[in-house]
Amino acid sequence: GTKRALVIGINYRGIRGELSGCHNDAKNMIAFLKKEYGFQDQHITVLMDDDDPAHGSPTKANILAAFETLVKLSEPGDALVVHYAGHGGKVKDVSGDEDDGFDETMIPLDFQTAGQILDDDIFMTLIHPLKEGVHLTCVIDCCHSGTILDLPFTFLGDGKQTEMTCGKGARAFPHMEKIRKKKFWKEWKPMIMAGGAPLWGGPL
């Protein structure tokens, strides 16, 4: 299959809360994917708030559109990687599908005008539409990222937990139940790693 990647790095230049390392994180991830796993430039989409004309702007609309494009282009046997480095947040849940009462969010470059990207939107745009046999690995480097993909199963690397567990929200709410019933669930074995880096996928 084809190896495809979406790499997002946002430093929020000139904005309060500006970061300094997310561009480097994105560049390092690209170099890693190319060197270690043979990803090719033509199959790597980059969204960064830098001066490179080859990079798209990491706005809310562009990030969601990139999710949609990645999913639409994928076919069974493909290996996908999504890397996000930037700010993360949480907002009050209004749909009733969060155990803690908050939706986790990605903070796009234009958050002040376009708003944040809810975990519900990430799930419905990136996770749920995937075809069977497509492997997706997500590395989400931001605050509040532990459940930002709204996966029904989690694994806490605390030295005590030995297998994935299913939160009550995964049983109670339809969008999580859809994933629990997918045939490829056992094949993919999604998990949430320690350190706030959610992974969804199998071997590259």
Q: State the residue for tokens 């282009």.
A: 73
Long-range residue pairs from 68-74, CB within 8 A, at least 24 positions apart, any chain: 68/125, 68/129, 69/45, 70/4, 70/6, 70/45, 70/126, 71/125, 71/126, 71/129, 71/130, 73/4, 74/2, 74/4, 74/130, 74/131, 74/134
DSSP-derived secondary structure letter, 9: E
State how far the Cα of 139 lies from the Cα of 161, in Å rounded to an integer.
21
Name the burial class of residue 110, with classes exposed (0-12), middle (13-18) and buried (19+) by CB atoms within 10 angstroms of its CB.
middle
Give the active site residues: 87, 143
Q: How far apart are CA 7 and CA 84, in angstroms?
A: 6
Q: Which of helix, strand or coil describes residue 80?
A: strand
